[in-house]
Chains A and B, each alone.
Chain A
């Protein structure tokens, strides 16, 4: 392990290289640009490819193209660019192509607040592309965690053959902090499973696949003349409108994430044991929340924190277990998004602390809010 001082954007770039990412396509956008800059520096040194495409849509497409050709691929963006990439995120879900998308959240909607943090894209991460689709989204909050979750993002993408969205915000992207970088031997990398060569078949969407498994699809140039299709397709990838086949493949796509959600879920529970009030917060907001928990505990207030690191699939069971019947305060840098999920799962109203003015929620704001709630 070695310690390096880096901002979150650079941390993700270094972690991506360590995870085996060898292709990056992007388009300049604040506050994610430094990530692309770092990738443009690092990738050629390891024989990888960096390309600045003509727009956000093209960079999402190029990353998917490189992935189909066998490379671990990534793109990064922020709010407006994330909106532009949505059609192709859906394409990657549909074709079941691994790819990692980093979204550095800034104030929105529209061009909004390019240089200020927000958490207004968490629902877009889940439902931004049209149609029903499975998705994984991770929201790390601490420097070393950003590094490790980037690696996990690639591992999950390759394992489940699905887009994985890594959500940070402007604060995490730009704050220089100490990152503990593990040695190559200390991390586990997931490599894409391919069908064995020489099979006389094309039905790779269902070949050796039980419900809950990801598909074993061949890479381009592997020897199979396989078809990747954006339209609803059959087991061989060819377009179909047969309701049974359409429904079956949609079910397989959903099931591969659904069945493994307990392995995908990851969260931190901080001082929950005797807590009378549980804060639900993620990303940089959770850091202010943690500080507030410490300050309130010093005053004798029994407060704890539930911090999801996996946002999607939503941690239904861990949240229910951790919270029980206790008071809950949901805090987000938006006007209330994940709160709908929390209320859905707990089946009751919760207290809220929302802010969407381009400034972070401070520990003081948490402390004042919670004093009023207890």
Chain B
């Protein structure tokens, strides 16, 4: 087995722009599958709409390309129907946090064993570059031609507050760390969230003087700081930084489908 066994090579080349971070994230995901030796047929891989949504076409498992913002809702039905299987969802910042925000917080609240990877490129890329809940303030997009005035969601804080039991952030500029982190999140029992900071130089960068991938990846690299380094810094030194690492890991809280099996016992039913 190699990680390429988790890729539908016959569907390549993919549809993403040259230099897009999604490819890096996809490789981290299939490498994590391979490291854990998960069987393809035991994995459900669900995506929503947007550039991130296209990943389900290329992953060689049970896949489903659903509607905008709702992959977690479909995944919840799948996981409840077959709790023993691995259910993985990949979503974008617009998909997971705007149109799908409600499903995101409630999947976290239930602590259902779904592994969510949010590809955060801070923009709606597929539709031509509109402002998203994570577009930096002052940034120009197709729908903020004079600059964005809206504050951002902090995915990590939101996920922790909503009840996710594994919450982490990494960047496409550190692919090996990303792979290890995704692998770790896959081993967690409960709702896990990995925010993968990514680049869209085509539809965000070009409007903000970051028009090629190297410039944009450098810009990302200048803003990130690993958690262990950040700990030694003064608060004012890191106030504009994106901290990377595992922010929250709760192994005590019970997982939803496990509790559901217990509920079936309370009801006197047979599993």
Contacts and interface: CB of A to CB of B under 8 A. Distances in A.
B203 to A, nearest CB: 20
B64 A228 contact: yes
Contacts of B78: 65-66, 68-69, 220
Interface in B215-262: 260
Interface of A: 23, 25, 44-49, 51, 53-55, 57-59, 61-71, 73, 87-88, 91, 95, 220-231, 238-239
A221 B62 contact: yes
A69 B70 contact: no
Contacts of A88: 67, 70
A357 to B, nearest CB: 35
B11 interface: yes
Interface in B39-83: 40-42, 44, 46, 56-57, 60-67, 70, 73-78, 80-82
Given A44-B263, A44-B267, A228 B65 contact: yes
A69 B264 contact: no
User: What interface size band does chain B fall in?
Assistant: 35 or more
A23 B79 CA distance: 12
Interface in B69-117: 70, 73-78, 80-82, 85, 102-103, 105-106
Nearest to B263: A44
B67 A61 contact: yes
Contacts of B70: 57-58, 61, 88
Contacts, number: 135
Nearest to B102: A54
Given A23-B80, A221-B44, A221-B82, A68 B64 contact: yes
A225 B61 contact: yes
Contact of B76 (A62, A70, A231): A62
A70 B82 contact: yes
A58 B41 contact: no
A226 B60 CA distance: 8
B13 interface: no
Which of B42, B82, B102 has the most chain A CB atoms closer than 10 A to its own CB?
Answer: B82
A154 B263 CA distance: 26
Contacts of B76: 25, 51, 53, 58, 61-62, 65
24 contacts: A44-B264, A47-B264, A47-B269, A47-B270, A48-B269, A51-B76, A53-B76, A54-B103, A58-B73, A58-B103, A61-B67, A62-B80, A65-B77, A65-B81, A66-B81, A67-B77, A68-B74, A69-B78, A220-B44, A220-B62, A221-B41, A221-B44, A228-B65, A229-B65
B82 A91 contact: no
Contact of B11 (A59, A66, A70, A238): A238
Which of A46, A48, A54 has the most chain B CB atoms closer than 10 A to its own CB?
Answer: A54
Contacts of A62: 73-74, 76-77, 80
A65 B71 CA distance: 9
A128 to B, nearest CB: 15
B269 A69 contact: no
A171 to B, nearest CB: 31
Closest 3 CB pairs of A and B: A65-B77, A62-B77, A61-B73
A238 B267 CA distance: 42
A197 to B, nearest CB: 11
A230 B56 CA distance: 11
B271 interface: yes
A286 to B, nearest CB: 35
A222 B269 CA distance: 26
A69 B81 contact: yes
Contacts of A61: 66-67, 70, 73-74, 76-77
Contacts of B105: 54
Contact of A231 (B44, B65, B106, B264): B65
Contact of B267 (A45, A226, A229): A45
Given A23-B77, A227-B63, 4 more contacts: A44-B264, A65-B64, A220-B78, A221-B42
A44 B222 CA distance: 53
B156 to A, nearest CB: 21
A58 B107 CA distance: 11
A48 B106 CA distance: 21
A70 B81 contact: yes
